[in-house]
């Protein structure tokens, strides 16, 4: 049994500023503080989001520290990338400050890896294929021995980006996911949209162009329904292809778009048909949060990773394939 560790993690890649604390083993989330930036108009403005994070950093930390005792903290982690530079720097600065103040090790966590690892921890998936879907990312990932293999990904925009951009055009506000899901449930009329799957890659820009051109010409419920059915079918198809290719029978979804009920329903159906398991977990952990960064900090620290403060610069374009992955199942108790 490994030594018991408590890690405080700071998330700030995009719209969410989060602080989480995780103790392990056994896995226990001690606190989960979130402050979510909502743009007054349009999508995320990186500098405005960073300003929001800066304004909330201190009160979020206070709230987190009211739930745990500072002496228990063994480790400090932060979301190092990929993400929006100005936002990442706020979280990194706070994490550095805590680490220096407490004299504890600092760990830089890859945001995508953290999404996958929190899903593995909560589902106890031993050897899954992961579909990582959010506002900025769409990847089919296999956490294999020692590293993350990106099997497929979007060739242009992320699926969350498709949803948000369409929602903006249709006047549904940001983030678009919840409204699109709600409206889609009121329709069952499929409008044919570009279905672009190439091997294990997908492409959404053609679909976005067509959807945008149909706003105002077709009922918005039908557009939402068609968007979800078409885009999610593409995602489930490439995920299934990855599972078939690797001969794996566990499937998890990570990232904010995973909060969509229809996507998870399709995942369950796909897995049932191939006698595989779709492993679901509480919906609040699909979205960005500090808990996953705290957990990612523990995972990476156990793999021997830590950073000196002077080398802890952020990596806005940090690719997942450059990150070490823990061996299957080892840390998932």
Catalog residues that contact another protein under the rule CB under 8 A. Answer: 82, 153, 188, 190, 192, 195, 198-199, 229-230, 233, 236-237, 240-241, 243-245, 265-267, 269-270, 272-274, 317-322
Q: Where are the beta strands (DSSP E) in 50-145?
A: 75-81, 106-110, 129-133, 138-143
Nearer to another protein, 265 or 284 (CB): 265
Helix pair angle (205-214, 159-169), 10° resolution: 20
**Hey, is 268 helix, strand or coil?**
helix
Find the shortest distance in angstroms from Cβ 71 to another protein: 38
Which residues, 6 or more positions from 188, have their beta carbon under 8 angstroms from its beta carbon? Answer: 225
Nearer to another protein, 77 or 230 (CB): 230
List 109's β-bridge partners, or say none: 79
Positive or negative torsion for Cα 283, 133, 300, 297? negative
Token pair of 194, please? 């570009």
316 backbone dihedrals φ, ψ, rounded to 5°: -60, -25
Nearer to another protein, 48 or 156 (CB): 156
Find the shortest distance in angstroms from Cβ 101 to another protein: 31
Nearer to another protein, 164 or 240 (CB): 240
Find the shortest distance in angstroms from Cβ 329 to another protein: 25
277 backbone dihedrals φ, ψ, rounded to 5°: -115, 125
DSSP symbols for 194-254:
---EETTEE--HHHHHHHHHHBTTB-HHHHHHHHHHHHHHHHHHHHHHHHHHHT--EEEEE
Start-to-end CA span in the chain (Å): 10
Nearer to another protein, 27 or 195 (CB): 195
Nearer to another protein, 284 or 322 (CB): 322
Find the shortest distance in angstroms from Cβ 140 to another protein: 12
Look-up of token digits 């602080």:
19
Nearer to another protein, 244 or 309 (CB): 244
Find the shortest distance in angstroms from Cβ 150 to another protein: 8
Find the shortest distance in angstroms from Cβ 112 to another protein: 9
Which residues, 6 or more positions from 260, have their beta carbon under 8 angstroms from its beta carbon? Answer: 177, 181, 228, 232
Find the shortest distance in angstroms from Cβ 245 to another protein: 8
Query: How far apart, in whole angstroms, are the C-alpha atoms of residue 159 and residue 152?
Result: 13
Nearer to another protein, 51 or 262 (CB): 262
Find the shortest distance in angstroms from Cβ 157 to another protein: 11
């Amino acid at each position: 049994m490994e030594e018991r560790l408590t890690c405080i993690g700071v998330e700030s890649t995009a719209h969410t500023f989060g602080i989480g604390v995780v103790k392990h083993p056994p896995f226990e989330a001690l606190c989960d503080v979130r402050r979510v930036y909502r743009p007054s108009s349009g999508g995320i403005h990186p500098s405005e989001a960073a300003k929001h994070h800066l304004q909330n950093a201190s009160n979020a930390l206070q709230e987190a520290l009211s739930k745990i005792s500072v002496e228990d903290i063994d480790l400090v982690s932060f979301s190092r990338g990929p993400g929006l530079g100005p936002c990442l720097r706020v979280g990194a600065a706070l994490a550095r400050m805590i680490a220096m103040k407490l004299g504890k090790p600092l760990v830089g966590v890859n945001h995508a890896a953290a999404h996958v690892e929190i899903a593995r921890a909560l589902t106890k998936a031993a050897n899954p294929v992961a579909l990582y879907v959010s506002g900025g990312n769409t990847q089919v990932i296999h956490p294999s021995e020692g590293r993350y293999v990106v099997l497929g990904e979007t060739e242009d925009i992320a699926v969350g980006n498709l949803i948000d951009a369409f929602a903006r055009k249709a006047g549904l506000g940001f983030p678009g996911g919840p409204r699109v899901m709600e409206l889609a449930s009121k329709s069952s009329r499929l409008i044919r949209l570009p279905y672009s799957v190439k091997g294990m890659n997908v492409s959404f820009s053609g679909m976005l162009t067509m959807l945008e051109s149909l706003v105002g010409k077709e009922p918005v419920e039908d557009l939402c329904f068609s968007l979800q059915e078409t885009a999610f079918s593409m995602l489930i198809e490439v995920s299934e292809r990855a599972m078939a290719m690797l001969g794996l029978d566990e499937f998890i979804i990570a990232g904010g778009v995973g909060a969509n009920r229809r996507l998870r329903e399709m995942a369950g159906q796909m897995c049932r048909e191939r006698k595989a398991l779709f492993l679901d977990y509480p919906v609040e952990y699909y979205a960005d949060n500090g808990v996953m960064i705290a957990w990612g900090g523990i995972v990476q620290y156990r793999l021997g990773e830590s950073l000196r403060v002077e080398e802890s610069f952020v990596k806005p374009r940090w690719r997942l394939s450059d990150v070490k992955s823990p061996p299957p199942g080892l840390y998932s108790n």
